[in-house]
Amino acid sequence: MEIIEEKFIGLFGNLLPGYSGEPLLVSVSGGIDSIVCAYIFKKFNYPISIAHCNFQLRKKDSDADATFVKKWAAKNKIPYFEKKFNVKKSTGKGQSIQMIARDLRYQWFYELAAKEGFAHIVTAHHLNDSIETSLMNMIRGTGISGLTGIPAVNGKVVRPMLHIFKEEIERYAKKEKINFRLDKSNLTTKYKRNKIRHQLIPLLTKYNPNFLEVFAGNLDAWQNISKVYRQAVARLRTELVQYDELMGAFKISVLELMARGVNDEILFELVSEFGFNSSQATQIFEAIHHQPGKKFYSKEHVLLIDRLFIIIKAADEVLEISGGYEIEDNFPFENESWKIGLLETKKLETLHTGPNEMLLDYKQLDWPIQIRRWKSGDKFTPMGMKGKKKVSDFLTDLKTDRFRKDDTWLIETAKGKIAGVIGFRPDEKFKISKNSKLCIYVKRKSVYF
C-alpha cells in the first residue's frame, strides 16, 4: 500500500470509527484531487457514488469536465449523479460567485444524500487547502476556530485527504497514471485563495523552505487548543445564555458578562450560534454600555441591548404588526390571536391577571372597542395613580425591554379613551371595583415577547 493510501484510509477510519460499509457520495469535479479521492475509494472497494456539479462558469470547459467525470464513472462502474447550476442568476447582494457555488453544491449534496440514502458526503479537500483557509481567515481576522483550517468532519461531510499535501497527490496520480481535468481558473490570481496559493505561500516558503510542514504542525496544535477552548466556551454558554420561557427569548446577563471579564471575542462565541459575526459581536460589546435599546440583526435572529440583559429572539417572532381589531359588544369573541369573554365579577376567583391578560369593568366601556398596539401620544391613568401618563413613559418606568415594549397592545373605547394596557394595568376608570357586576376578560393567545 502506498503511503498516501495509508494516510487516506487511516484518516477516514479515524474520522468515522463506526463506519461499516454504508454508501458514500463523493464530490468529483474532474480535477486531480477529487479524481484521486474517488480512485483510492474504488481501489479499496468502498461503495461510492459520484456527484458532479456543473456550474457552467467556464462554458465549454465546464461541459467537458462533466463529460469526463461521467465517462470516468461509467468506466469504473460507479453510479453517477450530475446537476447543472446557473450560479450567476443565483448571486445575491454582497455574495461572491464562489460562495454561491459552494452553498448550492452542499445544498444539492445533502438533498441527494437524503433522497438516495448516502450515509456520508466526501470531498477531496487536502492539507494545502486547509493551510490556505487558515491563512485567509488570519488575514481578514478570525478567532481560534478560524485558525484551525478546514474541519475534517462537518455534519455528513467527511474529508479524508486533509492530512495529505498537494504534492503527494500529484506524485500519486503520476505513478498510477491517473487522468484528470485541469481547471485553468485555479492558475489565475483573480481570486483571493489563488493569490495566497500562488503568491503568498511561495513568498513565505522562501523564508522557510519547510513552511508548509511547519504550518501543518501549527494546524494540529491549533486544533487541539480549539478543542479545549470550545469545551470552555460550551460551559460558559450553558451558564450565561439562559432561555426565558415567558419572553420566548434567550437572555445574557450584562452584569454576569462584566463579572466574568468577558470580552468581545468571547461574546462572539456566545452569540455566533445565533448567526452574529465577529464584527457584530464587537459592536454589541461596545453598545452594552453606551447604546441601550439598540438592535442587531442576523439572518434568523434579532438581538436587543436592554438595560440589564442582552436579549435574543428568533426573527420570525419579532413581528411588525400594524392596525388592530375592532370588537363589537357580542361575546364570546375569538380568533387566532385573541380571546374575549363576558364574565360575572362575583364568580372571579381572583382579580390577578397574567402577563397577556386584562380584566375591565364592562359597564364603563363604550362600544365598539379597539385592540391595537400603543402609539406615540397615547395616555391613560394607570390604576392606583392620579393624573394622565403617557403609555411610553409608563412602560419605560417599568423598565420594559424593547422587544416587549414594541409589542405591547392596549384597549381603546369608541370614545377614544385608553381602557388599559394589556398585560400591565387597566385605566383607573375601567378597573374592576366592588360595584362591578360584569367584566370583560381579554387574553392574547399568540405572544411574541
- pLDDT, tens digit, 9 for 90 and up, residues 136-190: 999 988 878 889 999 999 999 999 999 999 999 999 999 999 999 998 777 788 7
Structural Rg of the chain based on CA atoms: 31
Surface-to-core class of residue 19, CB atoms within 10 Å of its CB (0-12 exposed, 13-18 middle, 19+ buried) = middle
User: pLDDT value at position 322?
Assistant: 47
Sign of CA dihedral 189, 193, 199, 202: negative
Helix/strand/coil (H/E/C) assignment for every residue in 122-191:
ECCCCHHHHHHHHHHHHHHCCCHHHHCCCCCEECCEECCCCCCCHHHHHHHHHHCCCCCCCCHHHCCCCC
pLDDT by 10-residue block (mean), the chain, 449 residues: 95 95 97 98 97 89 94 97 84 70 93 97 98 94 88 96 97 97 82 92 97 97 94 94 86 94 92 90 91 85 89 71 72 82 86 84 92 91 94 91 84 94 94 92 69
Domain parsing of the chain, residue ranges: 3-222, 245-317, 324-444
| pTM over cut 0.75 | no
Within 283-400, strands assigned E span 295-297, 301-305, 309-314, 324-327, 333-334, 338-344, 357-361, 369-373, 379-380, 389-390
Q: State in Å, rounded, how far the first CA of the chain is from the last one.
A: 62
Strands 48-54, 80-84: parallel, antiparallel or unpaired by DSSP?
Answer: parallel
Instruction: Answer yes or no: are the C-beta atoms of 215 and 209 closer than 8 Å.
Output: no
- Beta strand pairing status for 369-373 and 409-412? antiparallel
CATH topology of domain 324-444: Phenylalanyl-tRNA Synthetase; Chain B, domain 3 (3.50.40)
Lookup result for grid cell 394596557: 421
CATH number of 3-222: 3.40.50.620
Q: Coil, strand or helix: which one is 206?
A: helix
